[in-house]
Amino acid sequence: MRVLFAFALAAVFLECVDAYRPINAHKQWFRYPGNAGVKIRLTKKGANHIKTVGVQLFNDYVANLKDYSTDVPFNQIGMIGVARLSNLRIKNYHPPQLSVLNFLPTRYIVLGLENLDLSLSSHFFASAPPLQFEGSLDGSIVGMTIALTAELLATQTGSMSAIVRNCSAIVARSHVILNPVGPMGIFLKTFEGMINDSVRQRIPEILCAKLQTAIEKHVGQMFDKVIRMDLMDQLPRVATKNGDLMQSFMAQLSNGMFLDNRLMAHPYVTFDFIETNHQGIIEYDQSAQTPFYPRAMENLTSSEDRMLHIYISDHLLNSLLYHAYQDNRLSMKIENESLPAELKGFVGTSCPTVWNPSNICVGRLIPQIGKSFPNATTSFVILPHGLPYVRFTPDGATIETTNRVLTYLENYDERVKSQILVFSINGQAVIGFVPNDGILEANLSLNRFNVRLHRSSIRGVDETSISKLSPLAKTFIAPRLNRALQKAIKLPMQETMRFMNPQVRTFDGYMQLSTDFELNAKRMKMMMGNVTIA
């Protein structure tokens, strides 16, 4: 009974160990919360481009305003009633001669539209029991100036909201002509002054309501695309069971992956830019909390001649590597079935008699294996032996990795596969980032590569022999990983904007992406087409 209990206890212990991979704290980890993993700065140049597109959409809306109705109460010579303007439409519209956007620290933006003109017409029906009046209305508003102030705030869900705190208008002059129908027409003309005052007040209210609804609805709606980004579709996926090895690895890595980019605080407005601070963590569905935090990104620069600056801490990639390591997503198996046709010979212990560089195989790299087990097939299982770590510096980005490689002989002489070698590969790779056509390409190149033998069941195999397997990483793994990563990182919000001439620089602990952009006005118009005035 004691023996059975001991076996059961051991099984439970092994199951617990397999479910969670405890790791020691990395010496580079930063333990104090409060710093952002991602910062975004929108400069005045970028904000003015958004304002220009927004004003164009506003002008299109006003110029095509029709079928609008509003009620105007009146009290004239003792008569109390309501005049209803229906089928109101804009006949002519002259856009504002000047539009201005200013930043007001620390959370406000101010929009001004100066000197816009319009003429309008509508059906007119007034009721002052027991009397009723009917006719049409023609009017004009000249020299209207609108001033709007909005406050930028972070919501409880980590998104951003823009609350219009004030919208007012000044009208230089207005004029209304009533065209009555019926015997009471002469009497109705006495209402022109009152109706003129009401239209003078109501039209600016309509335009302010449109601006308010568009700003309050769409600022948050656009920002929602930034605060959480599902990354599963960013990396290559496998179409079939016999897909490329690196595609399989990328699919394993990306399944359930997302970027947590929630706001950490209210947006910060200066006279030169609007800055937002984000969590900047990559994790998986149901991941445990990341046990370390970003370091402060210091000495940030934000040239005013670019529209947008995005600062990305190396914490972003390190959080990804931590959760991928904990979830056992960094392992890789190289076997005959997972290799493309031109590389299937690599895992063989015997190479073709006519040698050329494409015929390289394990048996030629380590002759002892070929002699001991001719005409056989090997396989490799690559396991991370420690937590990889990425570091951004002014000279670029580097990643440190330590891996164990288990080498198996597959079904030789009708036996099940057996382990013949265990060795470790410790290396450093340099990562270069190049923006290209809406994608941030990541190029990986090996900088340092050390091999150490741990166990061997084959006589004569030593560390010198194992080092000859370096082509496994240099000519096979790294190039294929590069091809997968080159199309993996898509720049955000490409449904609504196109990045123009983006540039990337690395600094101590972070990377900076500076770019201009062009909003997709048609896409924005489709989004705003669903806005109705409250």
Q: How confident is the model at residue 529, as a pLDDT?
A: 63
Ordered strands of the 228-230 beta sheet: 228-230, 257-260, 281-284
Q: How confident is the model at residue 415, as a pLDDT?
A: 60
pLDDT (tens place) for every residue of the chain, 534 residues total: 333 333 333 333 333 434 445 555 677 899 999 999 999 999 999 999 999 999 999 999 999 998 888 888 877 667 788 888 999 999 999 999 999 999 999 999 999 999 999 999 999 888 878 878 888 999 999 999 999 999 999 999 999 999 999 999 999 999 999 888 877 767 777 778 888 888 888 899 999 999 999 899 888 888 888 899 988 866 655 444 455 777 788 888 889 999 999 999 999 999 999 999 999 999 999 889 999 999 999 999 988 999 999 999 999 999 999 999 999 999 999 888 888 777 788 888 888 776 565 677 888 889 999 999 888 899 999 999 999 999 999 989 999 999 999 999 986 666 667 899 999 988 898 988 888 888 888 888 888 888 899 999 998 898 888 887 776 666 667 777 777 676 667 777 888 899 999 999 999 999 999 999 999 988 888 876 654 444
Q: Residue 506 falls within a domain, yes or no?
A: yes
Q: How confident is the model at residue 151, as a pLDDT?
A: 98
Are 201 and 259 part of one and the same domain?
no
Residue for token digits 């609804």? 213
Q: How far apart are the C-alpha atoms of 486 and 235, rounded to whole Å? A: 10
Are 194 and 262 part of one and the same domain?
no
Q: Which CATH number fits the domain that encloses residue 491?
A: 3.15.20.10
Are 220 and 238 part of one and the same domain?
no
Tell me: cis bond preceding 183? Omega within 30 of 0 counts. no
Domain that holds residue 275: 34-43+231-518
Are 252 and 105 part of one and the same domain?
no
Yes or no: say if 94 and 117 are a contact pair by the CB < 8 Å rule. yes
**What are the distances in angstroms from CA 147 to CA 164, 212, 330, 345?**
11, 11, 55, 73
Q: Residue 28 falls within a domain, yes or no?
A: no
Q: How confident is the model at residue 234, as a pLDDT?
A: 65
Model pLDDT for residues 116-167, shown as the tens digit of each residue: 999 999 998 888 788 788 889 999 999 999 999 999 999 999 999 999 999 9
Yes or no: say if 94 and 83 are a contact pair by the CB < 8 Å rule. no
**What are the distances in angstroms from CA 131 to CA 83, 126, 180, 195, 329?**
12, 8, 14, 17, 80
Q: Residue 59 falls within a domain, yes or no?
A: no
Token pair of 459 as six digits = 């006589």
Burial class (CB in 10 A: 0-12, 13-18, 19+), 348: buried
C-alpha torsion angle, residues 317, 322, 327, 328 (rounded to 10): 90
Are 195 and 275 part of one and the same domain?
no
Bridge partners of 142, per DSSP, are 173
Are 303 and 337 part of one and the same domain?
yes
Q: Residue 92 falls within a domain, yes or no?
A: yes
Q: How far apart are the C-alpha atoms of 336 and 320, rounded to whole Å? A: 29
Token pair of 363 as six digits = 């048996």
Last residue of a domain, one of 176, 194, 225: 225
Q: Residue 187 falls within a domain, yes or no?
A: yes
Q: Which CATH number fits the domain that encloses residue 107?
A: 3.15.10.10
Q: Is the dihedral of CA 243, 370, 462, 444 positive or negative?
A: negative
Q: With 0.75 as the threshold, say if the pTM is over it.
A: yes
Q: How confident is the model at residue 25, as a pLDDT?
A: 66
CA atoms within 13 A on the CB side of 411: 3
Total structural domains in the chain?
2
Q: How far apart are the C-alpha atoms of 107 and 288, rounded to whole Å? A: 34
Question: Of 176, 179, 191, nearest to 135 (Cα)?
Answer: 179
Token pair of 480 as six digits = 């294929």
Token pair of 106 as six digits = 């620390």
Are 168 and 238 part of one and the same domain?
no
**Other beta carbons within 10 Å of 494:** 14
Yes or no: say if 130 and 150 are a contact pair by the CB < 8 Å rule. no
Token pair of 358 as six digits = 């494409």
Q: How confident is the model at residue 12, as a pLDDT?
A: 35
Bridge partners of 273, per DSSP, are 43
Residue for token digits 């040239």? 303
Are 162 and 249 part of one and the same domain?
no
Are 220 and 235 part of one and the same domain?
no
Last residue of a domain, one of 166, 200, 225: 225
Are 167 and 297 part of one and the same domain?
no
3-state SS record for 17-76: HHHCCCCCCCCCCECCCCCCCEEEEEEHHHHHHHHHHHHHHHHHHHHCCCCEEEEEEEEE
Burial class (CB in 10 A: 0-12, 13-18, 19+), 19: exposed
Beta-sheet pairing, 389-393 with 377-384: unpaired
Model pLDDT for residues 283-333, shown as the tens digit of each residue: 999 889 999 999 999 999 988 999 999 999 999 999 999 999 999 999 999
Are 135 and 112 part of one and the same domain?
yes
Are 259 and 208 part of one and the same domain?
no
Last residue of a domain, one of 225, 240, 267: 225
